[in-house]
Amino acid sequence: MQTRQLGSLWPVSVLALGGGGTGQLWGETTREEAVATTRLAADLGITLLDMAPRYGDGEAEDVVGEAFAGRLPDGVRVTTKCLLGDAAPGEIDARLRSSLEDSLRRMRLERVGLFFLHSNIVPDDGPLRAHPLAATRMTPVGNYREHVRPTFEALVAEGKIGAWGITGIGHPDTLIDVLADAVKPAAIQCIANLLDSAGELKFFDGPARPREIIATAVANQVGVLGIRPVQGGALTAAIDRALPPGHGVVADFARAAPFRALCQRLGEDPALLAHRYALSLDGVDTVVLGVKNREELRGCAAATALGTLDADLVAQIDALRRPGAGADS
């Protein structure tokens, strides 16, 4: 499988296996199938497994532990994350360390290649601090700079993690600011889909601006992991799980109707074309898959082997992003 340089870190396969699928967030699977899918990913040349405690309440990390019994294949690295939220400053170091240790235990590892802050980084003051999900999903930028980063740097020095990163679906202006700090993350996870949409994960008003965030990351030598390439199923032929009316994925599925129509004219599978589109975005180093079984994984790998999309097809797809045709707003 083709590789790209992940910022200032190391070469990474252009596809990464995400834990959302193997942790059963994106539809039902079995532990046996998830383990087999994880092993197949390594066999296909995927060198990054992107995990988190929230992917099935630890299920995806347990899958990694069962798949490799603490001995990762040569060249394969694993990430994990901590959904810190608006923790009290005096609790941040302990919370980050406890989350990491729990993840290492589940995966039967002594260290991870990357440890991400899973929370949205938001301004210290403003309406997001009063959001109903602020306590669990949002970390004020002051706490990030004064408490999260020092713990991350200490964990690198202690050999518990190879490097650290942030989630790039928080407040856009805040993310752009922290990417330019002297002490910056080694990697960021950014929305990489043709809708420019984080769907139900966007908690602020206004556009998500993922392409601007990606460009800022590249300018600062921060590696970019493209996430939600099919926006949770919105860019597939059909949503494969029950979701309530008004859910972000349901809304985006409706917005993506012009894309599905284009795929039908071209004789293309929407999900596979969406993955190739994500890989065609300037600055994206690897695209994180949300596959839940070997069939989906093989399909993505085969599509990726065809390479990035040509400029004319990208232009056709981008034309669908005009106001009212699906772009996030």
Q: What is the pLDDT of residue 289?
A: 96
Longest dimension (CA), the chain: 57
Quickly list H helices, 1-115: 19-22, 31-43, 59-68, 89-107
Q: What tokens appear for 176 in the block?
A: 């752009």
Asked if 85 and 132 count as a contact pair (C-beta separation under 8 A), the reply is no
User: Could you tell me how many residues make up the chain?
Assistant: 329
Running DSSP on this structure, what letter comes out for residue 7?
T
CB neighbours of 205 closer than 8 A, spacing ≥ 6?
A: none
SS3 assignment, position 224:
strand
Q: Return d(Cα 69, Cα 226) in angstroms, integer.
A: 28
Q: Return d(Cα 126, Cα 215) in angstroms, integer.
A: 26
Q: Return d(Cα 295, Cα 16) in angstroms, integer.
A: 16
**Tens-level pLDDT at each residue, the chain (329 residues):** 999 999 999 999 999 999 999 998 877 899 999 999 999 999 999 999 999 999 999 999 999 999 999 999 999 999 999 999 999 999 999 999 999 999 999 999 999 999 999 999 999 998 898 899 999 999 999 999 999 999 999 999 999 999 999 999 989 999 999 999 999 999 999 999 999 999 999 999 999 999 999 999 999 999 999 999 999 999 999 998 889 998 999 999 999 999 999 999 999 999 999 999 999 999 999 999 999 999 999 999 999 999 999 999 999 999 987 544 444 54
Show the CA angle centred on residue 188, arms to residues 187 and 193, nearest 5°.
135
pTM of the model: 0.95
pLDDT digits (tens, 9 = 90+) for 169-185: 989 999 999 999 999 99
The residue behind tokens 């929370």 is 119
Report residue 8: phi and psi, to 5°.
Answer: -100, 15
Q: Return d(Cα 28, Cα 62) in angstroms, integer.
A: 16
Which structural domains are found in the chain, ordered by start? 3-319 (3.20.20.100)
Report residue 259: phi and psi, to 5°.
Answer: -65, -45
Q: What tokens appear for 81 in the block?
A: 């994350």
- Beta pairing partners, 78: 49
Asked if 73 and 44 count as a contact pair (C-beta separation under 8 A), the reply is no
Residue 17, classified by CB atoms within 10 Å of its CB into exposed (0-12), middle (13-18) or buried (19+), is buried
pLDDT digits (tens, 9 = 90+) for 51-110: 999 999 999 999 999 999 999 999 999 999 999 999 999 999 999 999 999 999 999 999
Q: Return d(Cα 190, Cα 210) in angstroms, integer.
A: 6
CB neighbours of 130 closer than 8 A, spacing ≥ 6?
A: none
CB atoms within 10 A of CB 32: 10
Asked if 68 and 123 count as a contact pair (C-beta separation under 8 A), the reply is no
Running DSSP on this structure, what letter comes out for residue 110?
S
Q: What tokens appear for 55 in the block?
A: 């992917």
Pairing assessment for the beta strands 11-13 and 3-5 based on DSSP bridges: antiparallel
Q: Dump the DSSP string for 24-46.
A: TSSS---HHHHHHHHHHHHHTT-
One-letter amino acid at 261 equals A
Asked if 217 and 188 count as a contact pair (C-beta separation under 8 A), the reply is yes
Q: Return d(Cα 190, Cα 169) in angstroms, integer.
A: 6
- Beta pairing partners, 77: 48
Q: What tokens appear for 13 in the block?
A: 């396969």
